[in-house]
């Protein structure tokens, strides 16, 4: 049974976020949370909350089953570029330089390795 968690318009560039997402893709949920806990990047804080949200979504969807018994893992995790806020900064000789404040959208899918018997 799959559970999805999405974070939209995260105020960080997608390129920086992908560096951390690549570390946790395909790992078990416990390993992913440990990796994120000791990763020294801002993206790890956002992803930690999102993985916990995906686990909670799985528990709600499965009818309050324990996630430890079913060996949850991160099935897919990807980052897409979001909207870009465009600003201008004054530059010499009356010119203006464009500032791009990028955002991203993150999607994490959690699945169980042990089959759920109904």
Tens digit of each residue's pLDDT (9 = 90 or more) over 18-67: 999 999 999 999 999 999 999 999 999 999 999 999 999 999 998 888 88
Q: What is the pLDDT of residue 46?
A: 97
Domains in the chain: ranges and CATH? 3-112 (3.90.470.10)
Q: What is the pLDDT of residue 19?
A: 97
**Alpha carbons 8 and 1: distance in angstroms, whole number:** 23
Mean pLDDT of the chain, nearest integer: 95
Q: What is the pLDDT of residue 66?
A: 87
Q: What is the pLDDT of residue 64?
A: 80
Instruction: Look at phi and psi of residue 48 and say left if phi exceeds 0, alpha if psi is from -120 to 50, else beta.
Output: alpha
Q: What is the pLDDT of residue 100?
A: 97
Residues paired with 81 in a beta bridge? 104
- CB 13 within 8 Å of CB 102: yes
């Amino acid at each position: 049974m799959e559970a999805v968690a999405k974070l939209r318009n995260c105020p960080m560039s997608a390129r920086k976020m992908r560096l951390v997402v690549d570390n946790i893709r395909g790992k078990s949920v416990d390993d992913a949370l440990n990796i994120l806990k000791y990763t020294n990047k801002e993206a790890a804080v956002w992803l930690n909350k999102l993985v916990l949200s995906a686990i909670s979504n799985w528990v709600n969807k499965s009818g309050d089953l324990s996630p430890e018994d079913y060996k949850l893992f991160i099935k897919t995790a990807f980052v897409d570029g979001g909207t870009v806020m465009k600003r201008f900064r004054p530059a010499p000789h009356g010119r203006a330089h464009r500032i791009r404040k990028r955002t991203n959208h993150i999607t994490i899918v959690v699945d169980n390795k042990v089959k759920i018997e109904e």
